[in-house]
Amino acid sequence: MAFQQVLFFLRPLRRRLSPSVTVLRYSSTTRADNNEAKTDLNDDKTESFGSGSENKSLLDNLSVLGVDVQMAQRRQPGVFRKIHTNEQGLIDFLEQKGASRDIIASIISRFPRAITRSEEHLEERWRLWRNIFNSDDEVVNILNRSPESFFRSSDNGNLEKNILYLSSLGIQPKDLHRLLTMAPRIFSNTLALNRTMVELLENVCMSLGGTDSKKFARTVISRNVYILIRSTKRVRSNIEFLLRSLELSDEEALKLLQGHGAKILDLSHENMKTNFRNLQLKLKSLGCSQGQVREIILNYAPILFVSSDTLNQKLDCLTEGGIDIRSIIEKPKLLDYSVTTLKQRLKDLHKLGYDFKVNGISVLDLSNKRFKSKLDKLRELGV
C-alpha cells in the first residue's frame, strides 16, 4: 500500500470510529475519567474545612501510623482538608489482606487519597483484582509498588469494563496478570481511551493489508504492555516515522510491528528520531550504507532505545576489539550489554586467542552463566 494511504489510516480516528467510541484526540492514556463514579467519602466541597485549614485529628492519626505527612501533603493537599476520612478502615482492610504497617504507611504517604475510599469500594475493587491475581500477597505487592494503580480511580465499573474489553480481544488471564503487574495504570484509563489505542492499532493492520486486526492489536499489546498508557499521538507518530524512514513494504511493516518493533512504539518520538539519526551517522562513519542502517533496525528495533552516547561507546568498544561491523549488524542484540560487560568479555576471549572471524560473535551474546561455562570449555580445549 502507498505510504500516503497508510498515513490516512494513521490520522486521528474521530471521523472513522463508530459513534459509541469516545475519542480524546492526542490525550494521554493515563488521564483519569472526569466522570468516574463517586465512591470517595464526602467528595462534596462542603464537607471540607475552609481554605488553608487542615484536619488536625487526621494529621495526628497518620503521624502515629508512620505516614510521611509532609510528602502526603505535597502530593494531595486537599485530602487533609476533609472532615471525614477512612484511614482506620483502610488500615484494617489492608492488614486483613496481609499488608504490614510499614507498607500501609508508605502507600498513604505516596497516595493519601487512599484514605477517602469506602470499605465497600475497597472490597469490590479487591475482588476485581483478585480475579486476575492468584493471591492477596500479589495484590499487596502491586499496591506497595504503585499505590496509584489501585486507588487512583474510584470507578470500579470502569475497571470491570476494561477487564472485559481486553479479554474480548483474546488477551488471556496470564497476560492480563502481566498487564496489571507491569502497567497497572492501564486499568485506571477510561475504557474509551484504551479502545482508542486498540482502534488505532487495528487500523494500522488494515492499512498494511493485514487480515486479522484484532490479533494484530493483541500481539502488539502483549509485546509492549506500556503502549496503552501512552498517547495515540506518540504511537501514531512513531509508526509513521518507521514506515517512512525504513521504506518498509506492507509485509515488512506487519512483521516488524508484531515482532520486536512493537517494543519501541511507546518510545518518546523525539528520542526515536534522535537515536535514529545518530545510528545513521555512526554506521556511516564505520563505512555502512543506508541499507545496512535499515538492516540493523529490522534485525533488532530496540537498538533505537539506546542513547546516542551509549550506542557510540558500545560500537567503538566492539569494533576496536576486533569485531567486524557487518557481524554486529547481523547480531545487534549484543548491544543490550553494558560497555563494561562487553569490554570484559572481549578481554577474556582475547586472552584465550579466540578468533571471531572463524567462530563468529554469538559467544558475546550469551547469558553470564553460559558465557562463563563457555570460557571454561575453551580453557579445557586450550583454545
Q: In the structure grid, which three cell numbers stand for residue 119, read together? A: 470499605
CB 101 within 8 A of CB 140: no
Determine how many CB atoms are found less than 10 A away from the CB of residue 330. 15
Q: Give the pLDDT of residue 51.
A: 55
DSSP-assigned beta bridge partners for residue 117:
40
Residues ≥6 apart with Cβ < 8 Å to 304: 264, 267, 272, 275, 276, 279, 297
The backbone torsions φ and ψ at residue 15, rounded to the nearest 5 degrees and listed phi first, read -90, -5
Q: In the structure grid, which three cell numbers stand for residue 179, read together? A: 498487564
Given the C-alpha cell 493492520, which residue does it identify? 205
Question: DSSP string covering 176-216, please?
Answer: HHHHHHH-GGGGGS-HHHHHHHHHHHHHHHHHTT-S-HHHH
Residues ≥6 apart with Cβ < 8 Å to 302: 260, 263, 264, 336
Q: In the structure grid, which three cell numbers stand for residue 143, read together? A: 499496591
Q: Give the pLDDT of residue 56.
A: 86
Query: Which residue ranges in the chain fall short of pLDDT 50?
Result: 13-38, 42-46
Q: Give the pLDDT of residue 128.
A: 93
DSSP-assigned beta bridge partners for residue 82:
48
Residues ≥6 apart with Cβ < 8 Å to 294: 246, 247
Q: Give the pLDDT of residue 60.
A: 87
CA distance 297 to 330: 10
Question: H-helix or E-strand containing 237?
Answer: helix 232-246
CA distance 62 to 106: 11
CA distance 202 to 214: 6
DSSP-assigned beta bridge partners for residue 40:
117
Q: In the structure grid, which three cell numbers stand for residue 53, read together? A: 485549614
Q: Give the pLDDT of residue 82.
A: 87
Q: Give the pLDDT of residue 275.
A: 97
CA distance 43 to 125: 19
- HSE, CB side, 13 Å, CA atoms: give it for residue 242: 33
